[in-house]
Amino acid sequence: MAGALMLASAIALNVFLSGLADTRAFVLRTSSILRSAAELHVDVRAAETGQRGYILTGERRYLAPYEQAMRRVWDSFRRLEQAVQDPGQVARLRRLRPLIDAKLEELSRTVELRGQGLEQALAVVRTDVGQRLMEDIEAIIGEFERTEQDIMVSRTRQLEQQAAWTTRIAWLTGILALVSAIIGVGWIARQRANARLLQAEQGFRRDLERQIEERTAQLVQVNRELDAFAYTISHDLRAPLRAMHGFADALVEDYGGTLPEEGHRFASRIVSAAGRMENLIQDILAYSRLAREEVSIHPVSLDGIVQRVIAEAEPLIREMNATVEVQHPLPDVLAHPTTLSQAIQNLVSNALKFVAAGQAPHVVVRAEPVDEWVRLWVEDNGIGIDLSHQERVFQPFQRLHGVEAYPGTGIGLAIVRRSIERMGGRCGVISKPGVGSRFWIELKAERQERAE
């Protein structure tokens, strides 16, 4: 009898709890719908505000809120369409869609006309078409929100009633639980068995976690040994390379008169190969050094770093008849000065180097805030990088062109990535073949650190 009573009580409680959960979910969905409707209203208003600011001033910085709002409008609208179930509300959304579409079209048209002149854009604004569309949109949204609030009030009352009944059923269930105490003894025994099983499982999990930690420590040690090995080998190879270079120079200097043309060519190739090998070793040393050295982070002036890099690259800039444009001022960031200088130097060097034959390089260096970060851009008019290779170029020794076409060791961008990651930042590239590349690095903004 106790079991039968418990079963009946549990079924009743489950029915009420299920209805309570459904009603609560409906209330939460209604709240989400109201929030999405408010966001839609704000987005349309923000787009119109950005449009007006741009039309009045002609400054493109007013287009930032306009463009962001234009991207968000339909996202907000789709969320409403997916959440709304009430037939009347669905009908209001159907009336709202063409109005929003027409409003966004009007905003886009006036922004486009403002690029041709102020009066052309104002002529469209003076027709008051946009104002009437906005008034219709706000009227429907207001009607939508009031209806949804009424639905929410009704469902909230229903939720309170169901909660009261659920409480009564819960009391009844508690009383019946006392009657079923004997049955509970068996349940306790079963729980103890489950507890022992769970304890064994937790022990196994701890052993597994310990093994993973040991393997991770081994991998870290192996990586350190590999970096040390690369450093040692690279350092030891420099001596025989210098000897090769010196003997080749001595051969040309002492026996140049007796060497045939082919001998001079061979000697020149030896010198060239030794030089390339020396550059490769230097880059390998720099790459491995980044993994060993401590990198202390503190406020650094991007303006100062970029100016020094441009000054050091001045001979190459003159040689290639290049122009380098720096959009001052550049904000301060949290970085290690030497490491950051090396990364920016590699990016500027690549921007000057990877251009089509006969084309004068044009490089733009600028910065922009991205939340609590600062993103530094190095943009060029070079040969560009195909989308399928844009991640590969940041790996060591990954070259997309032969040494004869574009000299280098294939490790410069790998040094950039490791440098920026050591400073807690990130990097990437946006590029299109034949158009140019836009490399970027992100570091923490110095003002954000002070605020924290």
Domain ranges of the chain: 2-179, 216-292, 298-451
Highest mean pLDDT among 254-268, 286-300, 360-374, 400-414: 360-374
The mean per-residue pLDDT over the stretch 228-257 comes to 65
* Alpha carbons within 13 A on the beta-carbon side of 336: 19
Pairing of strands 362-370, 323-326: parallel
252 or 56, which is more confident? Answer: 56
**Would you state the pLDDT for residue 177?**
65
Q: Is the pLDDT of residue 262 over 50?
A: yes
Q: Span 298-451: which CATH code? A: 3.30.565.10
Q: Is the pLDDT of residue 452 over 60?
A: no
* pLDDT over 70, % of the chain: 78
Tokens of 82: 């997916």
Phi, psi of 377 (to 5 degrees): -105, 140
Least confident of 171-175, 260-264, 286-290: 286-290
**Would you state the pLDDT for residue 426?**
92
**Tens digit of each residue's pLDDT (9 = 90 or more) over 163-194:** 887 787 777 777 876 767 677 767 778 888 88
CB 412 within 8 A of CB 343: no
**Would you state the pLDDT for residue 407?**
60
**Alpha carbon distance 381, 413 (integer Å):** 18
The candidate with the shortest Cα–Cα distance to 417, out of 426, 408, 404, is 426
Cα dihedral sign for 415, 420, 424, 426? negative
Could you check whether the bond before residue 329 is cis, i.e. omega within 30 degrees of 0? yes
Q: Is the pLDDT of residue 110 over 60?
A: yes
Give the mean pLDDT of the chain: 79
Q: Is the pLDDT of residue 275 over 80?
A: no
Predicted TM-score of the model (pTM): 0.43
CATH architecture of the domain with range 2-179: Up-down Bundle (1.20)
Least confident of 120-129, 203-212, 305-314: 120-129
**Tens digit of each residue's pLDDT (9 = 90 or more) over 143-169:** 888 998 888 888 888 878 878 877 877
Q: How confident is the model at residue 231 (pLDDT cuts 50, 70, 90)?
A: low
Q: How confident is the model at residue 306 (pLDDT cuts 50, 70, 90)?
A: very high
CB 415 within 8 A of CB 279: no
Q: How confident is the model at residue 198 (pLDDT cuts 50, 70, 90)?
A: confident
Q: Is the pLDDT of residue 294 over 50?
A: yes
Q: Span 216-292: which CATH code? A: 1.10.287
Tokens of 168: 């009564």
**Would you state the pLDDT for residue 242?**
67
